[in-house]
Structure 1
Amino acid sequence: MIVAESEQTQEEIVDGFVRCAQEHGEDAALSLRTLRRWMVGDVQTQPRPAQRRVARIYWGHPMHELLAPPKRETTLPQHIEPADAPDRADTSLSMTIERQITMSARRAARFTSNAETHNVGTEAIEQLRHDVVGLANSYLREPLTAIMGDLIELQDVTFGFLEGKQKPAQTRDLYVLASVVTGMVAKASQDLGRFHDAMTLARTMYVCADNADHIGLRAWARNLQSLIAYWAGRPQEAARYAQSGSEIAAPISGTVTTWLASSEARAWAQLGGLDEARTALARAAGHRERLQADDLDEIGGLFAFPQAKQHYYAAGTYVYIDGLHADAVSEATRALELYDSSDAESRAFADEAGTRAELALARIHEGQLDGARDALDPVLEYGPELRIGGIVASVGRVHTALRDRRYKDSTIACGLRDEIESFSQRPAAALTA
C-alpha cells in the first residue's frame, strides 16, 4: 500500500532505498524485481537483516508489517476527535515540512539521473561495485536460494549497461564487474551440479576479463574452469586449466596464484601423480610467502584464497596419496583450527564441510571410524539449502570409502553410510528445480 500510494516511481523508490542504506552505513541493496516481489508478497526467504533495518528507517515500519497483507482501514466519524489527538495546527505544519523535504529529495534524485548524460554514471558503477562485493562475501555464508536471484539480476543489470554507451574507462569498469558477477553465477551453477552451464558461464567470465585486460580475473576464470572440471570428475582437465591459469598469473602475486597451484596439486593427486602433486604444493607455499594482495583479494569472499583454504586443498591432495594420510589429517585439522578462530563474516560453510569430509576420509583410510564420524557429524546436520554439489560429492567419497571390505561388518560404518545416503537425497539443487 505504501508503494502503491506513493507519487514516486518504483525506480525512484529503489534509488531512495539504496541512498538510505548508504547514508546509514548499511550493506543493503534493493533491486526493482525484489521490490515488486515484496509488493505482491512473493517472499520465499526473509530479507537480510541489513535490508530489514533500512526498510524500517526508509518506510517507518518494521519489515513484518511491510510484508503483511494490507489491513482494511477504519476511520473515526468526522465529528469525534480522539482524546489523545495532537494539535491539528502542529500536525499540519509538521506534515507540510516533511512533504516539502520529500519533494525536494525526489527532485534532487531526478536531477542526478538526468545529469548522468551517458548510459551509466559514476554513482551507478559504484553501486554495482558495492553490490558485487556484498554478494561475493555473502556467497561464503548464505545458501544459494537466498542470493541466486540477486546474482542473476546483478548480472543482467551489468550486461544491460555494457550494451549501452559509456565512457571508455567506465566500459572497462563494467567489464570487470561483469566478469566478477558472471564468475559467481558460474560457481553457483557448478554448486548446483549444472557443469555444462557453469563452464559456459566461466568462458563468458574469461571474455569479460579479457576485454577489461584484467590478468587476475583471467587467471581466476581458468581456476574456476579447473574447479568445475574437478567436481565433474575430470581431474586431467582440471590440472590443465590450473596450469593455464598459472601461466596467465605469472606477473601477479595475489592469492589466486596460490589457489591455482593448490588446485593443480589436488587434481594431480586424484590422477596418482605424486611428484606433480608435491611440486604443485611447494609452488603454492612459495606463492603464499611472496603474497601481495591485489584487487581480487580486496573484494574478498569468494575471490580470496585464505590460509585455511590452502590447508583444506592440501588435505584434499594428501588424502589420495598412500602413505600420506597422516599429513591429510594434519592439514585438515589445521584448516579447521583456522576456521574456528575466524569471525563469522569470513567463514565459508562449504569449505569447512569439504575440510571435514577430507578429514573423515583420511581417518577412514587409517582405520579410525570413530574419528571419521566425529569429523563428519557437523556436516550431516546441514539443512538441504546448504547441501551444494561439492559438499554432497565430498560426503559421497566418504560413503565410497566406507564400503571397503574391511568395514563390511562395522556398525559405525553401516550407520554412517545410512546417514550419508539420507543426507544426499535432498541436495540444494532439488530446491531450485
Structure 2
Amino acid sequence: MDEGQRTVLFHLVTDRGIRSYRFFSEEYNRAAEELRRGGHEVAPPPAARHFERLLTVGGVKTAPYRPTARVLELMFERPVRELLRSAAEDSAGQHISNRTLSPPLPTESELLMTARDAAEHSGDAAALRVDELTLDQLHDDLNRLSREYGCKAPAGFFHEANGLLKHAQLMIDRTRSPEQLTRLYYAAGQASALLAAVTFDLGAMAPATSFARTAAQYGKTIDHGPLQAYAFGQLSFMAFWDGRPTESVRLARKAQQFAGLGSTARRRLFAIEARAHGHLRDDAEARRCILAAMEETGGARDELHDDIGGEFAFDAARTSMSNATTSLLLRDGDAAEEFATTALTLLSSRPTDEVPIVVSGPAAIDLARARLMRNEVEGAQEALNPVFLVPPGHRASGMMERLTAARMELTRHDFRGAPAAVALADQIEEFAALSPARRLGGPSALAIES
C-alpha cells in the first residue's frame, strides 16, 4: 500500500502493535467497556473487513457512527476525522512520511511484532477454508441431480438445483483456497447449466439464456473447456428455438473450439448444429452434421459429459432423437421415422424409472409426425399414446412445441374433416393446456417448424 493511501489510524495501530484484527478488537473492547461503565453508548468493534477499510484512505464513504467513533477517539486520543486522514498529509504524523526518506533500522521488538502479524494473517488465511466433506457432498448432490434430469418433474428439479447453486456461491465467499475456489466455481457452473436446462423446459427462455451465460462465465473463470462448451451448446440450442438459426450455427461452432472436449461433447454439438442448419433449410450442412454426430464414437472423454453424464450426457438414444427432429425440419419423413424408432428401441431396454421423459417423449412425438407426413393418423395416435400418459408436471416445453407441430400437421387439407384427425387434435390441445409452460404463461412460439 502506498504511503498516501494509508490513514493515520493505520500507522497508529501498527506502532501500537495491534495491526492484526484480533489484537485491535481486544483493545477496542477494553476501551468500550471503560466508556460503558461511564454511562456512554458504545458499539461493538468494526467487522474485520470494515476495520481494513478504515486503514485505507477513502476506504469508507462516511465516518463511523458516534458509538464507534467515541471508542476510537478514546483509544487514540484524536478526533475520528483525523484518524481517517491520509498519514502522508497529517501534520501531527509528519514524522511518518519523513521516515520514508531515511528509515531507521527496526528494533527487535518491531521485528517480533511484524513476525507476529504475519503469523496472525497466515492463520486467518488458513482458517478461511470450507470443510472438505461439505465440498464433497455438494459435488455428490450435483452429480446425482444431473443424472436424475428428465426423470424428475421440472419444478421440483429447479428448486433443488437453485439451492445447490446458492450453496456453492455461499462457500465461494467463505474460502480463499485456490484449489477449493476452482472446485466451487465448477460446481456453480454445473448448477447454473442445470438451471438453464430446466428453466427452458419450464418455457422461460429469458432466464434460461441468463443461466446458460452464467454457466459459461463460471467455466471461463476456471478455464474449463467442457463446461464452456456445454453452456455455449445451450445458447446455440436456445437461439434456434428463439428464431435465430444463423446465430445458433455460430454458437455451436464456437462451442466446438473449446479445449478438452470428449467424443460425447462433440456428438452433442454436432447434433445441435445439425438442428440449426435444419431450421435454415440447409440440407447439405444439416446432413453433414447428422453424419458427424453419428460418427463421433471415439474413446475421448471429459469429466462433465462422460463421468457425470445425466443431463450432460448425449448417448445414442438422445442423438437419434435429435436427428429425427432435424430430419423433420428437412421434411424427410422416412429418416425421421428411422431415427425416432431407433431412439425408442434403445430406451426400451432400460428400466422404466430410468428412462428420461425429455428424450422418450420427443422421440415418440417425432415418430408420430413422421407417420402423419404419410397421412397415417392411426399410426400417429399409437405413437402418441405413451406421451398422453406423461403427468402434467413433466410436460416440458420441448415436448409441447413438438406436439404443437404435430397439431399443425393435422390441419393439412388431407386431414380436413377426418374424425380420427379431429379427435387427435383435440387430445393434443387438452394435453398441452396443463403443461408447466402454459401455466407459467409462456409463449407458444413454434420452434419445430412445419
TM-score, normalised to structure 1's length? 0.70
**In 1, are the aligned partners of 2:371 and 2:377 still within 8 Å (CA)?**
yes
2:411, 2:440 → 1: CA distance? 31
Deviations 1:6-54 (A, max 9, x none): xxxxxxxxxxxxxxxxxxxxxxxxxxxxxxxxxxxxxxxxxxxxxxxxx
Is 2:311 the partner of 1:276? no
Which residue type is aligned with residue 149 of structure 1? H
2:212, 2:314 → 1: CA distance? 18
Aligned residue number for residue 23 of structure 2: none
Q: CA deviation at 1:307?
A: 0.7
Is 2:268 the partner of 1:259? yes
Deviations 1:104-159 (A, max 9, x none): xxxxxxxxxxxx93341321110100010111112220102322221111110111
Q: CA deviation at 1:432?
A: 6.5
Is 2:202 the partner of 1:192? yes
Q: CA deviation at 1:246?
A: 1.4
Is 2:371 the partner of 1:363? yes
SS of the counterpart of 2:127? coil
Aligned residue number for residue 212 of structure 1: 222
Is 2:311 the partner of 1:295? no
Aligned residue number for residue 418 of structure 1: 426
Is 2:315 the partner of 1:306? yes
Which residue type is aligned with residue 341 of structure 2? T
Q: CA deviation at 1:329?
A: 0.5
**In 2, are the aligned partners of 1:186 and 1:197 still within 8 Å (CA)?**
yes
Aligned residue number for residue 168 of structure 1: 178
Aligned residue number for residue 128 of structure 1: 138
Aligned residue number for residue 343 of structure 1: 351
1:14-25 mapped onto 2 (5 Å cutoff): none
Aligned residue number for residue 179 of structure 1: 189
SS of the counterpart of 1:367? coil
2:265, 2:199 → 1: CA distance? 21
**In 2, are the aligned partners of 1:385 and 1:431 still within 8 Å (CA)?**
no
2:438, 2:337 → 1: CA distance? 32
1:270, 1:363 → 2: CA distance? 21
Q: CA deviation at 1:231?
A: 3.0
Aligned residue number for residue 373 of structure 1: 381
**In 2, are the aligned partners of 1:190 and 1:389 still within 8 Å (CA)?**
yes
SS of the counterpart of 1:164? coil
**Alignment match of 1:234 (pick from 214, 229, 244):** 244
1:381, 1:174 → 2: CA distance? 39
**In 2, are the aligned partners of 1:137 and 1:346 still within 8 Å (CA)?**
no
Is 2:406 the partner of 1:401? no
Aligned residue number for residue 102 of structure 1: none
**In 1, are the aligned partners of 2:157 and 2:198 still within 8 Å (CA)?**
no
1:178, 1:364 → 2: CA distance? 43
1:344, 1:428 → 2: CA distance? 23
SS of the counterpart of 1:165? coil
2:247, 2:369 → 1: CA distance? 24
What is the aligned-residue RMSD (CA, Å)?
A: 2.0
**Alignment match of 2:258 (pick from 243, 248, 251):** 248
**In 2, are the aligned partners of 1:328 and 1:358 still within 8 Å (CA)?**
yes
Deviations 1:249-270 (A, max 9, x none): 5x53231110000011112112
2:380, 2:197 → 1: CA distance? 28
Q: CA deviation at 1:316?
A: 0.9
1:140-159 mapped onto 2 (5 Å cutoff): 140-159=150-169
Q: CA deviation at 1:420?
A: 0.8
**In 2, are the aligned partners of 1:191 and 1:389 still within 8 Å (CA)?**
yes
**In 2, are the aligned partners of 1:176 and 1:208 still within 8 Å (CA)?**
yes
Which residue type is aligned with residue 309 of structure 1? R
1:234, 1:380 → 2: CA distance? 31
Q: CA deviation at 1:327?
A: 1.2
Distance verdict in 2 for CA 1:269–1:291, change over 3 Å: farther
Aligned residue number for residue 45 of structure 1: none
Q: CA deviation at 1:401?
A: 1.0
Which residue type is aligned with residue 267 of structure 2? T
Please, which runs of 5 or more residues in structure 2 have no aligned partner?
1-125, 442-450
Which residue type is aligned with residue 265 of structure 2? V
Please, which runs of 5 or more residues in structure 1 have no aligned partner?
1-115
Q: CA deviation at 1:226?
A: 1.6
Q: CA deviation at 1:214?
A: 0.9
Q: CA deviation at 1:345?
A: 5.4
Aligned residue number for residue 66 of structure 2: none
2:356, 2:364 → 1: CA distance? 12
Deviations 1:186-233 (A, max 9, x none): 111111111111111111100101112111111000111122223334
1:311, 1:329 → 2: CA distance? 10
**In 2, are the aligned partners of 1:182 and 1:205 still within 8 Å (CA)?**
yes
Distance verdict in 2 for CA 1:430–1:366, change over 3 Å: closer
TM-score, normalised to structure 2's length? 0.67
2:299, 2:250 → 1: CA distance? 23
Which residue type is aligned with residue 157 of structure 1? H
Which residue type is aligned with residue 158 of structure 2? M
Percent of residue pairs identical: 27
